[in-house]
Amino acid sequence: MEVSLLGIPVIAGYGVIPIREYWDKDVVSLAINAVQNLVKSTGLKDFDAIYVGNMLSKYYEEQASISVHLADELGLEDVYALDVECGDASGAYAVLEAIKDVLSGESKIVLAGGVEKSTDELPHRLYRGISLSEDIFLVDYIGLTNLVNHAIALKMYIRRYNVDKADITYLSVLDHENASKARHAYFRFPIKLDTALNSPPVADPLTLFDISPNIDGAAFLLITTDDIAKEYNLNYVKVLGYGYSVNRTRFYERFDPTTLTAAKRASQQAFKRAGINTSELDFIEIHDSTTIAGVLALESIGVHGSGTAAKYIRSGVHRLDGELPINTFGGLKARGNPLGATGAYAIAEGVMQILGEAGGNQVKDAKIGLIHSMNGFDLSSIVFILGGD
């Protein structure tokens, strides 16, 4: 566990909005709505610092410095306000900045999360936007998109381990099943495997149901120490460990293309800090921006051996009522993938599970959970291990 003279870093509150298409709201308004929910449930409205994860507002709405505008709208003064951009892991990286801030003693009560207003763009501009974490030379001169690495890795994986693609796509069935009960999820209905397999191709062999929808959302967390949380009578979840790493940005130069090396290193750091191993986890939130990304993430964080995760997912052990539930509110595929907010949603969901506030999605006796978030196809990855008191 991360030990500091200042106490243990904890997450002592969350505020999310349902992931939807908010045609009548801008990016800062979405963030405000999520923060208002957090303020309502915690009673705290003054923060020493705010960290806002966002991927594309500079590109879509051409609005920079969201954190400063958010601070202004929230009426905060003398606050440290910083935008955090790390692709679709931005929200998770913003939370880590908050944790490090609290651990350093600089700030005591910190607001961190993410927001994305994906629907402000027309589809073709969106497709370039969500590809912008990739090397722009490849995006503009070769036509690389965010899905190319996923699709090629999927083909390599199937070839290398002789896996049935249906077993991989089954992750979207599991996601939809979990999201069907989740109020804040985007796709609140179950699907059949056949529907997923027969959906239109998007980057062959990936089909529409293998990829996650880029919708609007905002999620924020309150980060402080255990002592301060107790002082304010707040229920909290401890940050037992965290880790982060980067991978080769050019997929074709990776030495092991079917391992998410950044996720692997990040999880190893997190397990080491927490002093636990995979067998002690009660649930996992993985970054399944595509089904293959989710499968590879489960293997890379050490839950399953290479080439085996899809079979386990298909077997049911990762369902909500299974041995080790994953994506307990539907993951990126069905809860939705509001890019810069996605990682913050996953963390908020982990907090809900451990605090027993997950409603119809509650995992029984959820005490320790792992949250994985990543930028693109493992350009970088970040992992948190959260635990109850």
Partner 1 sequence: MTEISDWRYRIERYRLIGVRCRRCGSVYYPKRSKCIKCGSSDLEEVELPKRGRVVEYTIVRLLPDRYNRFHPYAVALIELDDGTRIYGQLTDVDLDKIHEGMEVEATLRKLYEYGESGQIVYGIKFRPVLSR
Q: Minimum distance from CB of 130 to partner 1 (Å)? A: 9
Find all residues with CB under 8 Å of 62, minimum gap 6, and list them.
none
Using the minimum distance from each CB to partner 1, give the nearer residue, 187 or 251.
251
Using the minimum distance from each CB to partner 1, give the nearer residue, 140 or 227.
140
Using the minimum distance from each CB to partner 1, give the nearer residue, 125 or 364.
125
Kindly provide the b/e burial profile for residues 245-256, where b requires at least 16 CB atoms within 10 angstroms of the residue's own CB.
bebebebeebee
From residue 114, give the alpha-carbon distance in Å to each of 96, 280, 284, 364.
12, 29, 20, 28
Using the minimum distance from each CB to partner 1, give the nearer residue, 203 or 370.
203
Q: Give the bridge partners for 15, in sequence order.
A: 220
Which residues ranging from 110 to 169 are in contact with partner 1 (CB under 8 A)?
123-125, 127-128, 131, 135-145, 147-148, 151-152, 155-156
* Interatomic CA distance for residues 274 and 301, integer angstroms: 14
Q: Minimum distance from CB of 119 to partner 1 (Å)? A: 15
Using the minimum distance from each CB to partner 1, give the nearer residue, 155 or 230.
155
Q: Segment contacting partner 1 (CB under 8 A): 194-202, 266-274, 325-333, 375-383?
A: 194-202
Q: Minimum distance from CB of 227 to partner 1 (Å)? A: 45
Find all residues with CB under 8 Å of 142, minimum gap 6, and list them.
none
Crossing angle of helices 90-104 and 342-355, in 10° steps, is 60
Using the minimum distance from each CB to partner 1, give the nearer residue, 135 or 177.
135
Q: Minimum distance from CB of 251 to partner 1 (Å)? A: 8
- Site map 203..242 versus partner 1, x via CB under 8 A: xxxx------------------------------------
From residue 384, give the alpha-carbon distance in Å to each of 263, 272, 280.
11, 11, 14
Using the minimum distance from each CB to partner 1, give the nearer residue, 135 or 280.
135
From residue 283, give the alpha-carbon distance in Å to each of 201, 303, 315, 345.
31, 11, 16, 15
**Amino acid letter for position 227:** D
Query: Is residue 202 near partner 1 by the rule CB under 8 A?
Result: yes
Q: Minimum distance from CB of 58 to partner 1 (Å)? A: 15
Q: Phi, psi (5° rounding) for residue 242?
A: -150, 160
Query: Is residue 58 near partner 1 by the rule CB under 8 A?
Result: no
Interface with partner 1: number of residues (CB under 8 A) = 35
Query: Is residue 256 near partner 1 by the rule CB under 8 A?
Result: no
* Interatomic CA distance for residues 67 and 54, integer angstroms: 10
Q: Segment contacting partner 1 (CB under 8 A): 70-78, 180-188, 243-251, 286-294?
A: 243-251
| Three-class DSSP category at 174 | helix
Name the residues that contact partner 1, by CB under 8 A: 123-125, 127-128, 131, 135-145, 147-148, 151-152, 155-156, 200-206, 248, 250-253
